[in-house]
C-alpha cells in the first residue's frame, strides 16, 4: 500500500473536528511547518464558503445593465436609489451597486482592503449544489474526465508544502495545518487517503472539550456528548494521546487569544466562527488554512419581501456576511495580526438572471469572489455579468466565464502563500497551466512573495529493501531452515491474511502461485522517526529467512516515500512483532539491507528475539498479536487443538498445520514474554 493511501492524519488523510465556543473545528492533513528565511511562515488563508449558491446579481447589481436587470426581475429587483455604488471610478462595465445591507463590505472596499472578482465559474458548470461544491473544493471543472478525482486542492497544496506531516503533533509543531469551522466536512481538505475524519462533539467549549478528551486516558467514558457523528467517537478513544495533545493546544491558544470588544461581531454562526479564528490566531496558532461556512443561500422561495425588496432572507444573509467580515477585519487590525491574513469568499455558483414564480431565483452558472485583507489590491477584476446574455434556462450564458475560480485561488497560493509554479500546477493538476498561472495581481506587489522564497513540491522517492528474519516456531533444528509445511500441504492462503486480525490490514495483495520455498506471509510496516506508521505492505517469507515480494523478488520495492529517516517493523500472525533498530535514510534509489537474525541488537527493545541454533528469531506464541504471550494465546491454541483437520490458524505456532503439543510447548516456553511496547501500543489503534 502506498504511503499516501495509508496515512491517517486527522483521526488522518485532511480532519478531526474539534469544537470550540460551540463551533466545530476539523483538523486537516499535511505536515510540520518548517522555518524559512522569507518571513511568510505566519501567513494565513481564511476561506468563507457561502453554501447554497449566493444570488450575486442581487448582491452586486451590474449598474450598466440596470434596466435589463429590472425587466428580468420585476418583483425582486433592488431599487436603484437603495444601492451602494461600489466604485464610481471604475469603467461603466465594472460599475456595481452593492445591496444596501453590505455597508461592511463597502467600507472595506473604500479603505482599500477588498477586491471583487467577477464572472467566476469553471468550464462546463454543474448546477447541483453537492457536485459544484465538490468540483470547486477538489480543484476541478465539470468535465467528465475529472469524475475520479478524490482529493481536494487544499489537501494537495498542504501535502506538497509539508510533505512529511503524519497527522500527529510532535516537536515544536503542535497545531493542525487546517481547521474547518462548522460540523460539515470538506472535500477540499481531503488528501487522497483521507475520508474517515469526522468526530463531532457539538457544543463543547475549549475547557469542556478538553475535559471530555482528558477523561479518555482513564476509564472509558460511558456518556459521550451529543454529536452529529457520534459513532466515530470510538476512534477518538483509540487515539486518545494524540487528541489530548491537540485538544490541550487548541484550548491553550484559544485561552491565550483575545478579541477586541469594539470589533462588533454579530451574534451569528458566521460572526462567531470568524471571531474564533481571530482568537486562535491572536493566541499563537500556526494553522495555515481556516474554512468557515455560512449556509442558507439557496433562495428559491421568498428571497425578498414582496413590495420591499431590500428586506427578506437574502438581505439578512448579506447583512450577516458584510458585518461579520468587517468585524473580523477590524478585530485582527486591532489585535495587530491583520498583516498576516487574507480572506477569500466564494459560493458554488450563482443564480439565474431571471426570477422564478416564488419571489426567488433558481440555480445559475457563475458568481463573484471577494478577497479581503490589508495586502489586497482593491478593485474590480472582470466585467459585470451581461444581463442580456442568457442561456436557454435564463442563467448567465457559460460563455460569460471570465475568471476561473482556480485562477483566484492559485494567485493566492502563489503570491500570498509562496507556492511555486510547479506547486500551483500540481495543486490544480487537472487544470490548464494557462488558467492557474494567470496573474490577476490580487496581492500588493510589495507583499507578494518573492519568487526566490517559493517552495517547490518535494518529490516522493522509492527504494529497494532487502530483509532477512526468522520465525522461531518455524525453524527446523535439523536443517536450520524454516519449514515449508504450509506451502507443501496447500494450507497457505492466496490472499494476505492480516485483515481480520489485530493488525486490521486490508491490502489487496494476493497470489495465484507461491514462489518456491515460501514459509508464510509477513506484514511489513515503514515507520518514521516520530514512531508513526507511514506505509504497510504484505510480503512473503522464504525458508532461508529472506523476505520476498509476491513474485519472489528479494529486492522489495517501497514507493511513494518522502525523504526522511525511517525504520521497518516485521509482523506475523503468531509471533511477537519486532521493530528493526536500523535507521534508514529514505532517498531515491536507496538499497537498505536488514538482517534481524544476527543478534538481539538488530531490533529495538530488550529480549525481543530468541536464539535458535545461532539464529535470532521472532518469538513464537503470540496468537492474538498483542505483544504479550499469556492465557489468551493459550485459549487460541486450545480451541485449535480440538480440530484434528490440518488448517491455517494462529494456534499453530510451528507451521505444520496442526495445533498440538509441540505448539503448546512453544507457548509455554515463551509464556509471559512481552514485545516492544512502542510497537504493540501502536497496533492497538
Residue 219: is its pLDDT beyond 80?
A: no
**Rounded Cα–Cα distance for residues 623 and 502 (Å):** 10
The angle that helices 661-670 and 631-641 make with each other, rounded to 10 degrees, is 180
Tell me, what's the pLDDT at 411? 98
Per-residue pLDDT band for 587 (boundaries 50, 70, 90) equals very high
Average pLDDT for 498-525 = 95
Does residue 9 form part of some domain? no
Q: In what order do the strands lie in the sheet with 60-62?
A: 60-62, 96-98, 84-85
Residue whose cell numbers read 485538544: 247
Q: Which helix (H) or strand (E) holds 441?
A: none
Residue 3: is its pLDDT beyond 80?
A: no
Does residue 11 form part of some domain? no
Coil, strand or helix: which one is 239?
coil
Does residue 373 form part of some domain? yes
Strands, E assignment, 214-326 = 289-294
Q: What is the mean pLDDT of the chain?
A: 85
Asked if 27 contacts 154 with a C-beta cutoff of 8 angstroms, the reply is: no
DSSP strand pairing (547-548 vs 533-542): antiparallel
Tell me, what's the pLDDT at 555? 97
What does each C-alpha distance from 339 to 285, 332, 342, 454 come to in angstroms?
Answer: 15, 9, 8, 19
Does residue 214 form part of some domain? yes
Tell me, what's the pLDDT at 303? 97
CB atoms closer than 10 angstroms to residue 477: 7
CB atoms closer than 10 angstroms to residue 395: 24
Asked if 620 contacts 471 with a C-beta cutoff of 8 angstroms, the reply is: yes
Residue 199: is its pLDDT beyond 70?
A: no
The angle that helices 240-256 and 206-215 make with each other, rounded to 10 degrees, is 160
- In tens, the pLDDT along 248-260 reads 777 788 889 999 9
Cell of 178: 487546517
Tell me, what's the pLDDT at 147? 74
- 20 exposure class (CB count in 10 Å sphere: 0-12, 13-18, 19+): buried
DSSP strand pairing (44-50 vs 341-347): parallel
Claim to verify: residue 57 and residue 107 sit in the same structural domain? yes
What does each C-alpha distance from 588 to 58, 197, 423, 555, 579 come to in angstroms?
Answer: 56, 31, 20, 15, 23
Strands, E assignment, 122-193 = 178-181
Does residue 10 form part of some domain? no
- In tens, the pLDDT along 145-158 reads 777 787 889 988 98
Claim to verify: residue 507 and residue 437 sit in the same structural domain? no
Claim to verify: residue 437 and residue 510 sit in the same structural domain? no
**Rounded Cα–Cα distance for residues 385 and 61 (Å):** 9
Claim to verify: residue 243 and residue 372 sit in the same structural domain? yes
End-to-end CA distance of the chain: 18
Asked if 63 contacts 362 with a C-beta cutoff of 8 angstroms, the reply is: no
**Rounded Cα–Cα distance for residues 443 and 449 (Å):** 9
**Rounded Cα–Cα distance for residues 347 and 135 (Å):** 12
Tell me, what's the pLDDT at 566? 94
Claim to verify: residue 210 and residue 188 sit in the same structural domain? yes
Signed CA dihedral, 620, 622, 628, 631: sign only? negative
Tell me, what's the pLDDT at 36? 46
Does residue 8 form part of some domain? no
Does residue 658 form part of some domain? yes
Tell me, what's the pLDDT at 163? 75
User: What share of the chain has pLDDT > 70, as a percent?
Assistant: 83
- 65 exposure class (CB count in 10 Å sphere: 0-12, 13-18, 19+): buried
Which range marks the domain in which residue 420 is found? 16-258+269-453
Phi, psi (rounded to 5 degrees) for 413:
-60, -40
Asked if 12 contacts 232 with a C-beta cutoff of 8 angstroms, the reply is: no
**Rounded Cα–Cα distance for residues 647 and 655 (Å):** 10
Say which range, 33-47, 139-153, 163-177, 230-244, has the weakest mean pLDDT.
230-244
DSSP 416: I
Per-residue pLDDT band for 17 (boundaries 50, 70, 90) equals very low
Claim to verify: residue 429 and residue 552 sit in the same structural domain? no
Per-residue pLDDT band for 230 (boundaries 50, 70, 90) equals very low
Domain finish residue from 436, 453, 470: 453
Tell me, what's the pLDDT at 183? 56
Claim to verify: residue 424 and residue 479 sit in the same structural domain? no
What does each C-alpha distance from 233 to 17, 36, 168, 225, 577 come to in angstroms?
Answer: 11, 37, 17, 10, 29
Give the range with max mean pLDDT: 24-38, 375-389, 522-536, 557-571.
375-389
**Rounded Cα–Cα distance for residues 164 and 31 (Å):** 5
Strand partners, 20: 23
Say which range, 9-13, 323-327, 359-363, 661-665, has the weakest mean pLDDT.
9-13
Three-class SS string for 612-638? Answer: ECCEEEECECCCCCCCECCHHHHHHHH
Average pLDDT for 229-252 = 48
Tell me, what's the pLDDT at 259? 95
Domain finish residue from 433, 453, 473: 453
**Rounded Cα–Cα distance for residues 341 and 343 (Å):** 7
Average pLDDT for 550-555 = 98
State the DSSP string of 564-618: SEEEEEEE-SSB--EEB---EE--TT---EEEGGG-GGGBSSSS-EEEETTEEEE
Claim to verify: residue 422 and residue 552 sit in the same structural domain? no
State the DSSP string of 322-368: HHHHHHHHHHHHHTT-GGGEEEEEEES--B-SS--TTSS--B-S-EE
Three-class SS string for 505-519? Answer: CCCCCECCCCCCCEE
- In tens, the pLDDT along 591-600 reads 999 999 999 9
- Quote the radius of gyration of the chain (alpha carbons, Å): 30
**Rounded Cα–Cα distance for residues 681 and 605 (Å):** 14
Tell me, what's the pLDDT at 180? 80
Considering only residues 161 and 536, tell me which one the structure prediction assigns the higher pLDDT: 536
Asked if 13 contacts 186 with a C-beta cutoff of 8 angstroms, the reply is: no
- In tens, the pLDDT along 87-124 reads 999 999 999 999 999 999 999 999 999 999 999 999 99
Asked if 136 contacts 405 with a C-beta cutoff of 8 angstroms, the reply is: yes
Average pLDDT for 317-333 = 98
State the DSSP string of 49-116: EETT---HHHHEEEGGGHHHHHHH-TTTPPPGGG-EES-TTS-GGG-EEE-TT-HHHHHHHHTT-EEE
Residue 301: is its pLDDT beyond 80?
A: yes
Claim to verify: residue 605 and residue 678 sit in the same structural domain? yes
CATH number of the structural domain spanning residue 594: 2.60.40.4130
The domain tally of the chain equals 2
Does residue 605 form part of some domain? yes
Claim to verify: residue 343 and residue 478 sit in the same structural domain? no
Domain finish residue from 435, 453, 471: 453
What does each C-alpha distance from 67 to 64, 101, 368, 453 come to in angstroms?
Answer: 8, 22, 21, 49
Residue 335: is its pLDDT beyond 80?
A: yes
**Rounded Cα–Cα distance for residues 37 and 545 (Å):** 49
Per-residue pLDDT band for 142 (boundaries 50, 70, 90) equals confident
Give residues with Cβ within 8 angstroms of 665, minimum separation 6: none
Asked if 646 contacts 489 with a C-beta cutoff of 8 angstroms, the reply is: yes
Claim to verify: residue 228 and residue 314 sit in the same structural domain? yes
Per-residue pLDDT band for 169 (boundaries 50, 70, 90) equals low
- In tens, the pLDDT along 23-73 reads 445 555 443 344 445 789 899 999 999 999 999 999 999 999 999 999 999
Cell of 65: 445593465
Tell me, what's the pLDDT at 198? 27
Claim to verify: residue 129 and residue 201 sit in the same structural domain? yes
Tell me, what's the pLDDT at 37? 54
Tell me, what's the pLDDT at 528? 87
Coil, strand or helix: which one is 305?
strand
- In tens, the pLDDT along 411-468 reads 999 999 999 999 999 999 989 999 999 999 999 999 999 999 999 988 889 999 999 9
Amino acid at each position: 500500500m502506498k504511503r499516501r493511501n495509508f496515512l491517517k492524519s486527522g483521526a488522518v488523510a485532511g480532519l478531526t473536528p474539534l469544537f470550540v465556543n460551540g463551533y466545530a473545528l476539523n483538523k486537516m492533513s499535511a505536515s510540520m511547518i518548517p522555518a524559512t528565511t522569507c518571513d511568510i511562515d505566519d501567513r494565513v488563508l481564511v476561506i468563507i464558503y457561502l453554501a447554497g449558491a449566493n444570488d450575486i446579481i442581487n448582491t452586486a447589481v451590474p449598474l450598466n445593465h440596470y434596466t435589463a436587470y429590472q425587466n428580468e426581475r420585476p418583483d425582486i429587483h433592488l431599487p436603484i436609489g437603495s444601492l451602494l455604488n461600489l466604485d464610481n471610478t471604475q469603467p461603466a462595465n465594472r460599475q456595481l451597486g452593492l445591496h444596501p445591507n453590505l455597508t461592511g463590505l463597502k467600507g472595506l472596499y473604500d479603505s482599500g482592503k477588498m477586491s471583487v472578482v467577477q464572472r467566476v465559474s469553471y468550464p462546463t458548470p454543474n448546477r447541483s449544489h453537492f457536485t459544484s461544491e465538490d468540483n470547486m473544493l477538489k480543484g476541478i471543472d465539470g468535465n467528465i474526465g475529472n469524475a475520479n478525482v478524490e482529493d481536494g486542492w487544499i489537501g494537495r497544496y498542504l501535502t506538497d508544502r509539508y510533505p512529511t506531516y503524519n497527522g500527529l503533533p510532535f516537536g515544536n509543531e503542535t497545531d493542525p495545518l487546517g481547521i474547518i469551522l462548522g460540523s460539515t466536512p470538506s472535500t477540499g481538505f481531503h488528501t487522497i487517503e483521507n475520508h474517515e475524519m469526522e468526530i463531532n462533539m457539538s457544543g463543547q467549549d475549549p475547557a469542556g472539550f478538553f475535559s471530555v478528551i482528558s477523561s479518555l486516558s482513564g476509564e472509558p467514558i460511558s456518556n459521550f456528548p451529543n454529536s452529529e457523528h457520534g459513532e466515530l467517537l470510538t476512534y477518538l478513544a483509540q487515539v486518545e494521546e494524540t487528541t489530548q495533545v491537540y485538544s490541550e493546544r487548541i484550548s491553550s491558544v484559544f485561552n491565550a487569544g483575545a478579541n477586541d470588544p469594539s470589533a462588533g461581531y454579530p451574534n451569528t454562526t458566521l460572526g462567531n466562527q470568524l471571531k474564533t479564528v481571530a482568537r486562535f490566531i491572536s493566541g499563537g496558532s500556526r494553522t495555515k488554512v481556516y474554512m468557515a461556512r455560512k449556509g442558507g443561500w439557496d433562495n428559491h422561495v421568498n428571497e425578498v419581501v414582496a413590495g420591499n425588496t431590500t428586506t427578506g432572507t437574502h438581505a439578512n444573509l448579506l447583512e450577516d456576511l458584510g458585518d461579520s467580515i468587517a468585524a473580523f477585519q477590524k478585530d485582527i487590525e486591532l489585535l495587530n495580526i491583520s498583516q498576516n491574513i487574507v480572506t477569500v469568499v466564494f459560493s458554488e455558483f450563482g443564480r439565474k438572471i431571471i426570477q422564478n414564480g416564488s419571489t426567488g431565483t433558481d440555480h445559475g452558472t457563475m458568481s463573484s469572489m471577494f478577497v479581503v485583507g490589508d495586502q489586497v489590491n482593491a478593485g474590480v477584476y472582470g466585467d459585470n455579468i451581461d444581463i442580456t446574455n442568457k442561456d436557454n434556462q435564463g442563467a448567465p450564458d457559460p460563455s460569460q466565464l471570465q475568471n476561473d475560480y482556480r485562477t483566484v485561488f492559485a494567485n493566492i497560493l502563489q503570491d500570498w502563500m509562496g507556492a511555486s509554479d510547479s506547486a500551483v500546477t500540481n495543486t490544480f493538476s487537472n487544470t490548464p497551466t494557462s488558467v492557474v498561472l494567470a496573474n490577476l495581481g490580487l496581492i500588493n506587489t510589495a507583499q507578494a512573495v518573492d519568487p526566490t522564497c517559493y517552495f517547490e513540491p518535494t518529490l516522493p522517492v522509492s527504494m529497494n529493501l532487502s530483509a532477512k528474519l526468522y520465525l522461531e516456531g518455524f525453524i527446523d533444528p535439523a536443517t536450520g531452515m524454516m519449514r515449508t509445511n504450509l506451502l507443501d500441504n496447500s494450507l497457505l492462503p492466496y490472499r494476505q491474511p492480516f485483515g481480520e486480525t489485530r493488525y486490521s490490514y486490508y491490502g489487496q495483495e494476493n497470489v495465484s502461485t507461491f514462489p518456491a520455498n515460501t514459509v508464510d506471509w509477513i506484514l511489513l510496516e515503514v515507520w518514521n522517526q516520530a514512531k508513526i506508521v507511514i506505509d504497510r505492505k504484505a510480503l512473503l517469507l522464504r525458508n532461508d529467512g529472506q523476505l520476498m515480494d509476491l513474485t519472489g523478488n528479494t529486492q522489495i520495492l517501497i514507493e511513494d516515500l518522502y525523504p526522511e529517516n525511517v525504520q521497518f517493523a516485521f509482523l506475523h500472525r503468531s509471533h511477537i512483532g519486532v521493530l528493526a533498530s536500523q535507521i534508514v535514510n529514505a532517498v531515491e534509489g536507496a538499497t537498505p539491507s536488514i538482517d534481524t537474525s544476527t543478534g538481539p541488537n538488530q531490533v529495538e527493545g530488550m529480549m525481543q528475539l530468541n536464539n535458535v541454533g545461532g539464529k535470532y528469531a521472532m518469538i513464537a506464541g503470540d496468537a492474538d498479536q498483542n505483544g504479550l504471550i499469556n492465557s489468551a494465546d493459550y485459549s487460541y491454541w486450545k480451541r485449535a487443538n480440538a480440530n484434528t483437520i490440518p488448517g491455517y490458524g494462529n494456534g499453530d505456532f510451528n507451521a505444520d498445520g496442526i495445533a498440538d503439543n509441540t505448539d503448546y510447548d512453544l507457548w509455554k516456553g515463551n509464556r509471559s514474554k512481552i514485545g516492544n511496547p512502542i510497537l504493540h501500543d501502536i497496533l492497538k489503534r
